[in-house]
């Protein structure tokens, strides 16, 4: 296993590029470096400087590599196509400018699905026509990323979007040729959606090119699902906990990755309250925990 560990701006509470609560982008890079990481994701396009000279110098100064970027846009909304295209081209351009190889596609949060996140039997699903239309948009963006920018484009299931549950993710994978679309498995979103990320990886190991490491607090999960808490409110209540303190069996996952000789970057994501004051500490603890797991393996 040649697993390289990076982090992402969402671990500093950065979900949108211009939120008033966002930390300064230089602080995120500083803390990522201080916590021991060698890579970081782009985050929401527009948060880091889009001038490649400015960002490139900042990354180099901190010995950081740009690892990947996420197009987190409403693929489910046909009226938002210009928004999706804007996010895709700007993200892919930034990745290409900095030598990153992976673009990740996520159907962003829909207000009605945020109310049923984590409850597959209650969530409204798209009808056949709307589903096919959304998948067509995903396929178009995947082809743009691969054919125009030379990127590996991966699908990421995400809580509160319309591609959240295992059957939804698998349907997209079946409908789009794997030469255009690979898979990014997020351990936390799998667990929140009710399926096991290790089993999912074993089923799709050849198509899984990228990983997001996230953990779920079982008590918070049970509470927010039972009380139908909005997904964003669930995050602020501590749904995503430090790695190794929740539901994800990282030791078993890493043994599986080792057995399949997984190679490449993976990214720690711990969506959090940006005002928590714990971002550097949490980044260090998560880095230390995963390295301890790796050192403890019989390789």
In the prediction, which pLDDT does 288 show? 97
Which of 23, 2, 12 lies closest to 268, judged by CA? 12
The CATH number linked to 84 is 3.20.20.150
Q: Which residue has the tokens 């898979």?
A: 183
Distance of CA 212 to the CA centre of its chain: 5
271 vs 126, more confident: 126
| CA 292-298-299 angle, 5° bins | 100
Model-wide pTM > 0.95: yes
| Torsions phi, psi for 209 (to 5 deg) | -110, -10
C-alpha 59/C-alpha 36 separation (Å) is 14
Kind and range of the H or E element at 149? Answer: helix 149-149
Number of domains, the chain = 1
Under 8 Å between Cβ of 279 and 254 = no
Q: Is the alpha carbon torsion for 143, 149, 153, 159 positive or negative?
A: negative
C-alpha 257/C-alpha 263 separation (Å) is 9
In the prediction, which pLDDT does 232 show? 86
Biggest alpha carbon–alpha carbon distance for the chain = 52
Over residues 226-242, the mean pLDDT reads 91
In the prediction, which pLDDT does 58 show? 98
As a whole number, the mean pLDDT across the chain is 96
> pLDDT band at 298, cuts 50/70/90?
low
Count CA atoms closer than 13 A to 97's CA, side-chain side: 18
What range defines the domain where residue 11 resides?
Answer: 2-295
Percent of the chain with pLDDT over 90: 93
Under 8 Å between Cβ of 77 and 111 = no
Number of Cβ within 10 Å of residue 56's Cβ equals 15
Assigned token pair, 240: 């995503």
DSSP 44: S
Which of 184, 180, 186, 193 lies closest to 155, judged by CA? 184
């Amino acid at each position: 296993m040649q697993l390289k560990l990076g982090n992402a701006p969402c671990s500093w509470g950065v979900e949108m590029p211009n939120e008033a609560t966002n930390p300064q982008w230089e602080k995120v890079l500083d803390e990522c470096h201080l916590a021991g990481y060698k890579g970081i994701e782009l985050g929401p396009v527009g948060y880091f400087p889009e001038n490649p000279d400015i960002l490139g110098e900042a990354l180099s100064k901190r010995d950081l590599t740009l690892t990947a970027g996420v197009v987190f846009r409403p693929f489910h909304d046909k009226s938002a196509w210009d928004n999706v295209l804007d996010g895709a081209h700007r993200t892919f351009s930034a990745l290409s400018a900095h030598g990153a190889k992976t673009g990740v596609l996520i159907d962003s949060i829909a207000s009605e699905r945020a109310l049923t996140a984590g409850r597959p039997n209650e969530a409204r699903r798209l009808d056949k026509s709307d589903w096919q239309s959304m998948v067509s948009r995903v396929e178009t963006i995947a082809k743009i990323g691969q054919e125009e920018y030379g990127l590996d484009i991966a699908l990421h299931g995400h809580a509160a979007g319309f591609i959240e549950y295992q059957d939804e993710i698998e349907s997209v994978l079946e409908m789009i040729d794997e030469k255009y679309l690979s898979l990014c498995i997020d351990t936390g979103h799998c667990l929140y959606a009710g399926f096991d990320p290790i089993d999912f990886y074993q089923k799709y190991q050849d198509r899984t090119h990228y990983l997001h490491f996230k953990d779920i607090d079982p008590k918070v999960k049970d509470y927010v699902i039972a009380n139908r808490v909005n997904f964003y409110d669930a995050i602020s209540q501590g749904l995503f906990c430090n790695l190794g303190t929740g539901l994800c069996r990282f030791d078993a996952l890493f043994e599986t990755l080792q057995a399949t000789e997984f190679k490449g970057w993976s990214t720690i994501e711990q969506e959090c309250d940006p005002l928590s004051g714990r971002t550097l500490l949490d980044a260090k603890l998560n880095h230390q925990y995963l390295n301890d797991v790796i050192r403890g393996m019989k390789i």
